[in-house]
Structure formats: structure tokens, C-alpha cells
Amino acid sequence: GIPELICHAASGFLVPERDAAALAQQLQSVIAGHYALAEIRLNAREKIVSEFNQQQIYEQLAAFLLDEHNGVH
């Protein structure tokens, strides 16, 4: 997972890169029901909707381009 998008156990799961044992352990824990998956799914969706809204991204890009054009840094 990408740490900027995922808060471990709140909106998804993170394991160390290229660590098959850690991935297997995390999957076993999920399968065993140690997490409220419905809540995690809702948290993940809320993060994407709130932080990666297409309109918001367009507005941020427009503001950046205007600042660059006007010499504001």
C-alpha cells in the first residue's frame, strides 16, 4: 500500500515492501476477523472522496498555475 493513502488498520493495511511473511501474517489476521473490515472500507472511501476529489484537484492546480503565472512562490 501507499502510506500517503493508507492509515494502517484504519483505512487499509500496510506491510513492508517485499516481505512475503509479513503479508501472509497480515492476511491471516484479516481472515481471522481481527479487524472491522466494514469500518475500514468506509474510512478508505471517505479519505479518497475527501482528499482526492477531482474538483478539488483541479482547483489546486488552477491556483498553482495562477501563482506561477503571477510570480507568487
Q: Go through the chain and tell me how many residues it has.
A: 73
pLDDT in tens, 40-71: 999 999 998 888 888 888 999 999 999 999 98
Backbone dihedral angles phi then psi of residue 8, each to the nearest 5 degrees: -50, 125
- Is 0.75 topped by the overall pTM? no
Q: 8 pairs with which residues across the strands?
A: 12
Residue 8 region by backbone torsions, left for phi larger than 0, else alpha for psi between -120 and 50, else beta = beta
Confidence band of 1 (pLDDT split at 50, 70, 90): very low
